[in-house]
Amino acid sequence: MMSIRYHDERGYVNHGWLEARHSFSFGNYYDPEHLGVSALRVINDDHIAAGQGFPTHSHQDMEIITYVTSGSIEHKDSMGNTKALSAGEFQLMSAGSGISHSEYNPSPHEPLNLFQIWIQPDQLGIEPAYQQKKFAHTQGMQLIASPDARNGSLLIHQDAYLYHLKLAVEQTATHKLDSGRTIYAHIINGEIDINGKRLSAGDGITINTETQIDFISITNTEALFFDLP
């Protein structure tokens, strides 16, 4: 099966300081047809105004990944971490038995754009943990998170793999899909052909009946894709 979630079908909220698109049900946006894919529960495309952000709040038993595409974040949490994330950096916070944190745009002038991703863990009540890394983002596929932290990737408590895809015009990439696995890809920018389906910025696609995923960029393209149980 291949199922496309087009960019203009996503949930939308505008709180003035926050403008966001939700690929799956989140907060006050609820769509029973789009509650997530496999262990993937949230992909939020957040635009946060200068000097604004999320005040201290709590999470439990969720793997929370943040990817900053422009601007920067000031992060503080109940583990004592005070961190800054700039564009291109990934953060993975394992909420486990419970964690509180805040995320702000510290700039007085520049907006912040980030993707927030939630993945259900395969273990409950683990000790909370925080990871942060800026990857090289070379052309092709870059492994960002994996259950065994292979090749310098972030450790995620789920049998799931997150890749960052960066392709130039007409560049290709291939990913083998094991039986019983599901792919979800989200296009950040550009246009791309994925197994014969043309997608553009904001679109998402679920694939779970193929053995090989072929990515063919139509323009310079950036995307995230997940290999899920």
Q: Averaged over 16-20, what is the pLDDT?
A: 97
Q: Write down the pTM of the prediction.
A: 0.96
Contacts of 174 (CB under 8 A, 6+ apart): 212, 213, 214, 215
CATH label of the domain that carries residue 24 = 2.60.120.10
Q: What is the pLDDT of residues 31-77, one digit of tens each?
A: 999 999 999 999 999 999 999 999 999 999 999 999 999 999 999 99
Question: Count of domains in the chain?
Answer: 1
What is the structure's pLDDT at 1? 82
Q: What is the pLDDT of residues 161-191, one digit of tens each?
A: 999 999 999 999 999 999 999 999 999 999 9
* pLDDT band for position 109 (cuts 50, 70, 90): very high
pLDDT at position 137 over 80: no
Mean pLDDT estimate for the chain: 96
Question: Which H or E element spans position 158?
Answer: none
Dist. CA 156–CA 22, nearest whole Å:
22
Q: What is the pLDDT of residues 87-108, one digit of tens each?
A: 999 999 999 999 999 999 999 9
SS3 per-residue string spanning 69-118: EECEEEEEECCCCEEEEECCEEEEEECCCCEEEEEECCCCCCCEEEEEEE
User: Which class for 211: exposed (0-12), middle (13-18), buried (19 or more C-beta within 10 A)?
Assistant: exposed
3-state helix, strand, coil in the chain (%, to 5): 5, 60, 40
What is the structure's pLDDT at 128? 97
Q: What percent of the chain has pLDDT over 70?
A: 100
> What is the span of the domain harbouring residue 188?
2-228
Beta bridge partners of 22: 11, 44
